[in-house]
Chain A
Amino acid sequence: MLGRIVVVFNGYWSLYLGQGLGITLGLSAITVLFGAVFGSLLAFMKMSKIPPLRWIATAYIEVIRGTPMLIQLFFFYFILPNDMIMAVFGWIYRIILLFNAEAVKADFIKFICIAIALVVNSSAYVSEVIRSGIQAVDRGQTEASRSLGLNGVQTMTKIILPQAVKNILPALGNEFVTVIKETSLASTFFIGDLMSVYNVVRGKTYLVIEPLLITAAIYFVVTFILSKLIAAWERRLKRGE
């Protein structure tokens, strides 16, 4: 079996490590990046003094966290009209065409649907990461700041957020690691990520286990290294206080 693993890997390593891992990491990065943007928005809505904003954010977060990711992927895959996606994201497709004239429009639309579903999902989790990062900053910091005469916004931007990022950034890194594994679900739609590559290789080699083990090993090595790096980074942030 070891021999067959080596043969399969030799034959398909560029598909695995180039396209597969590239798309997986790219999609994960997009997910966490935009998840952080919308997650911040949700976090501030949830901490808002205005009740309707709080309700909306809470409902969103609860629904997303309470339903399976795969259902969310299907939902956005079916619900988002192609025309709308092209209207909003068409410029990206046109840029891609400049580099790769063979890029297929349907694949692009599918990819955007999946990315949106992942961002929607991740923003709910990330908003909780951000909220708890902010709330982990000692209340006394807010009180000291307000007692000096700083207003709420000044206190948030100058005192609370600079301290909260030390809690938030490592947690976002860990969210990235989680998302890397979760994007494997997106292979259901065959978007060329690492797990999709597995399906391709399995079809070509008529082998099931060997390509799977290679896929698992790549996921493991990447997430293991990233986790260790994040942990080291977190220790450094905490020490630099």
Chain B
Amino acid sequence: MNEANSKYMIQAVDLHKSFGDLHVLKGVNEGILPNEVVSIIGPSGGGKSTFLRCLNLLETPEKGHIFFEGVDITSKGVNVNIHRQKMGMVFQLFNVFPHLSVEKNVTLAPVLLKKKTEKEAKEAAAALLQRVGLFDKLNESPSRLSGGQKQRLAIVRALAMEPDVMLFDEPTSALDPEMVGEVLDVIRELVSGGMTTVIVTHEMGFAKEVSNRVLFMDGGIIAEEGTPDEIFSHPKNPRTRDFLSKVLTT
């Protein structure tokens, strides 16, 4: 199967990824539909982050293909930078740019990549920051923000490129518990607005609430997938059951 299935926004075909001798992804096939919200859960080391990072080629798979909006972005000669502009990514450790003001964090990419004029970018940044409650921090340095604020800024920075899909890698795992809610609220709002979203998370309640589909990754493959109800209430795979019994009791 080397043809893109046109109904998917992102499609991964037979993805393999190794780090040295460690075979991390062992043939992952998955398609993400437009407007779909997909959560990825699973034990540590199962390859969740690696899979997500393959979707925008932050990791280069040794084998397999990624189709994004009908284009095989893994094929030679494709300018992946163009396609990455349409895929926002949010990281566990925020990775805000510490040398730039909050506003500049948001406007840098759209202006540099000529998506917006300086003026348009500033207006868009103001509106986005307003939406996540950071408007009053416009001229602050990110180093003066709390973790939750940094992560909201990182989300806004990605949104400023007007992406077609948002990829989240454990966006709340590095936060103090009292800040998890404010970040989940932002994602919740985004999802309800119809943003196509793939989110790796350990927040089972949240995954259950927002997802159309849940993927359980273990040992480098998608070991089970289904609706939140199927995965959380009626898991079929013993590994899924085992994993859920561990995370839901602690």
Contact = CB atoms under 8 A, between A and B. Distances in A.
Contact of B95 (A138, A149, A154): A138
A140 interface: yes
A141 B95 CA distance: 6
A147 B88 contact: yes
Contacts of B117: none
A123 B75 CA distance: 40
A159 B81 CA distance: 16
B98 A241 contact: yes
Contacts of B58: 143, 146-147
Contacts, number: 62
Interface stretch (B33-41, B105-113, B189-197, B217-225): B105-113
Contacts of B93: 140
Nearest to B58: A143
A150 B109 contact: yes
A140 B81 contact: no
Interface residues of A, number: 18
B97 A149 contact: no
B84 interface: yes
Interface in A131-176: 138, 140-141, 143-151, 154, 158-159, 162-163
A149 B91 contact: no
B97 A150 contact: no
B81 A147 contact: no
B181 to A, nearest CB: 24
Interface string B133-166: 0000000010100000000001001100100000
- Interface of A, secondary structure class, is helix
Interface residues of B, number: 27
A138 B81 CA distance: 21
A144 B141 contact: no
A185 B50 CA distance: 54
Please indicate which of the listed interface residues B89, B96, B112, B113 has the most CB atoms of chain A within 10 Å of its own CB: B112
Given A141-B97, A144-B97, A149 B108 contact: no
Given A143-B58, A241-B141, A241-B143, A148 B95 contact: no
Interface in B72-93: 81-85, 87-89, 91, 93
A163 B109 contact: no
A148 B97 contact: no
Contact of B84 (A141, A147, A158, A159): A147
Given A143-B58, A143-B91, A158-B108, A149 B81 contact: yes
B192 to A, nearest CB: 24
A151 B84 CA distance: 10
Task: Kindly list the 9 A-B residue pairs having the minimum CB-CB distance in the complex, ordered from nearest.
Answer: A149-B85, A144-B95, A140-B95, A147-B89, A148-B109, A149-B84, A162-B99, A149-B81, A151-B81
Interface of A: 138, 140-141, 143-151, 154, 158-159, 162-163, 241
Interface of B: 56, 58, 81-85, 87-89, 91, 93, 95-99, 108-109, 112-113, 141, 143, 154, 157-158, 161
30 contacts: A140-B93, A140-B95, A143-B58, A143-B95, A144-B95, A144-B97, A144-B154, A145-B97, A146-B58, A146-B84, A147-B58, A147-B84, A147-B88, A147-B89, A148-B109, A148-B113, A148-B157, A148-B158, A148-B161, A149-B81, A149-B82, A149-B84, A150-B81, A151-B81, A154-B112, A158-B108, A158-B112, A159-B97, A159-B99, A241-B143
